[in-house]
Amino acid sequence: MKPEQSTLGKIGATKTVLVFESGGDPKAVITDLTVRVVERSEKDVLTFTGPVEFETPTQTHVNEVVLPLVDRIAYLLNIPRRDFTISASNLQVAANLDVGVRVSGYSADLPLFVAMISALTG
């Protein structure tokens, strides 16, 4: 395997707590965040997938704040820049409460950063 391809397909994962409202009451749930390293493309560097929806301002923030830090660390470690697929899941909570879970704000920054570095470094 070529060194520049060694990180492709690697996965990093962390857990975080998502806080959301359901029926007017705040709820907190532990959620898995998963990041997969994918081939660099001409389009989106970050792709958000899965049953948990990342709101647009949160996606923009991760692209503009978290990703440059990851790219800088990759550069310092001599690892080629990569694209990432990011997903969060907690299907049981969504099913039990009959709600869609949406991520907004910046509390997932650190867990996403850790998962991205973990995936990037294998």
Q: Comparing 104 with 111, which gets the higher pLDDT? A: 111
Distance CA 22, CA 69 (A): 34
Q: What is the DSSP letter of 100?
A: -
Label residue 95 by pLDDT band (50, 70, 90): low
User: Which residue is associated with the tokens 């704040």?
Assistant: 65
Would you say 23 and 95 are in contact if contact means Cβ atoms under 8 Å apart?
no
Mean pLDDT, to the nearest integer, of 36-60? 84
Question: Taking the model in full, what pTM does it have?
Answer: 0.80
Q: Which of 112, 59, 52 is nearest to 88 (CA)?
A: 52
Mean pLDDT, to the nearest integer, of 54-80? 92
Label residue 81 by pLDDT band (50, 70, 90): confident
Tokens of 35: 């990041």
Burial zone of 115 (CB within 10 Å; 0-12 exposed, 13-18 middle, 19+ buried): buried
Where are the alpha helices (H) located in 1-122, listed in sequence order?
Answer: 56-61, 67-76, 91-97, 109-121
CA dihedral in degrees (92, 93, 99, 103; nearest 10)?
-110
